[in-house]
Amino acid sequence: MTENSSTGMTRRALLGAFAATTVAAAPTFSKAAGFLRGGGDIRRISMYSGRTGESVDTIYWIEGKYIKEALKEINYFMRDWRLDKSISIDTRTVDIMAAAHSLMDVNEPYTMLSGYRSPQTNAMLRSRSRGVARNSLHIKGQAADLRLKNRSVNQMYRAATSVRAGGVGKYSGSNFVHMDSGVVRTWGR
């Protein structure tokens, strides 16, 4: 689609029209797996980073197709901010995050604590904390650590586990939930 099509509708206006239907298309807990298999027409992700002060709020998937420009924006947002390095974030991870967010029926963006981590950053964090895995999925762009002000860690954990599409870790003491696109598993208190 060109920027100004013959109907006068821009790509941005079209995406805005699709965004208006997001609430109506949001799945319920019982339909979480269907959401990941294409049960919804639109997928949106909204996040904020306290580390960089940046935000992302984008529709990244419409009717079975990922939007390349939106994925590039997500990749950059979820970069290793310490070294300013980014990689392609696994779209399954973004799908899990978006599905869990929709299931919680909240308008607040996620606060992203950690997305992609370079091997150097992961090693540095591992030297400071025994809770950082040597072969973390963060290194592969397959994980995110997230928090919401208006939902508890338990609510986030239940929403993410109901998606049944990856790993979910509950870190109540640190007030965040880990979501990844690895094998389905759960852990934490």
Q: Which domain holds residue 73?
A: 11-188
Residue scoring higher pLDDT (55 or 189): 55
Q: Which amino acid is at 178?
A: H
Q: Where are the alpha helices (DSSP H) in the chain?
A: 11-20, 22-25, 32-34, 68-77, 91-103, 119-128, 153-163
Q: Does 99 map to a domain?
A: yes
- The answer to whether residue 77 is domain-embedded is yes
**5: in domain:** no
Tell me, yes or no, whether 60 lies in a domain.
yes
Cα separations (Å) of 121 from 79, 116, 133, 154? Answer: 11, 10, 12, 28
- 16-19: list long-range contacts, CB under 8 Å, 24+ apart: 18/42, 18/59, 18/62, 19/44, 19/59
In this prediction, residue 76 has a pLDDT band, given cuts at 50, 70 and 90, of very high
- Does 157 map to a domain? yes
CATH number, domain at 42? 3.30.1380.10
Asked if the structure places residue 4 within a domain, the reply is: no
Q: What percentage of the chain has pLDDT greater than the value 70?
A: 79
Q: Is residue 1 part of a domain?
A: no
pLDDT in tens, 98-148: 999 999 999 999 999 999 999 999 888 888 887 777 789 999 999 999 999
Q: Looking at per-residue confidence, does 139 or 16 come out higher?
A: 139
What is the per-residue pLDDT for 33?
Answer: 47
Q: How many domains does the chain have?
A: 1
What is the residue type of 36?
L
Residue 166 inside a domain? The answer is: yes
Mean pLDDT (the chain, rounded): 84
